[in-house]
Amino acid sequence: MEKEQHELYEYARKRLNQKKALYFHFVLLILGSIFMSIANYFLVFGYTSNWSIWIITFWLFLFLLHFIKVYITDRFMNKNWEREQVDRLVGQQQRKIDQLQTHIEEESSKKPQ
């Protein structure tokens, strides 16, 4: 397998694993929410607050963060994006080095010998 094809395969496999983990997280959120709601209803110890709502809300917030990471952040900021950013920064550094080198050469040619 060529290097480029292997990179595409690895990227696809990584994305598939990310989506699989997200779906598992979603199913776990649903089942856990149902379980906590039932437990909150039946396990009343004299304190009548709806504690399961707070836990489910926090868990939903974590799920939304996971969703954003999988479908938004990692979709755009992947290996290709990293590679482009590194190439851009290296290009900027190289241009600055070339400008400094040109400046040094100009200064050295202006000095009388």
62 or 11: which leads in pLDDT: 62
Question: Average pLDDT for residues 15-31, to the nearest whole number?
Answer: 94
Other beta carbons less than 10 A from residue 7's beta carbon = 13
- pTM for the whole thing? 0.65
pLDDT of residue 19: 92
So what's the pLDDT on residue 110?
Answer: 77
Mean pLDDT of 70-88: 82
Domain ranges for the chain: 1-77, 78-113
pLDDT reading at 31 higher than 70: yes
Return the pLDDT at 1: 59
What would you report as the CA-atom Rg of the chain, rounded to the nearest whole angstrom?
A: 28
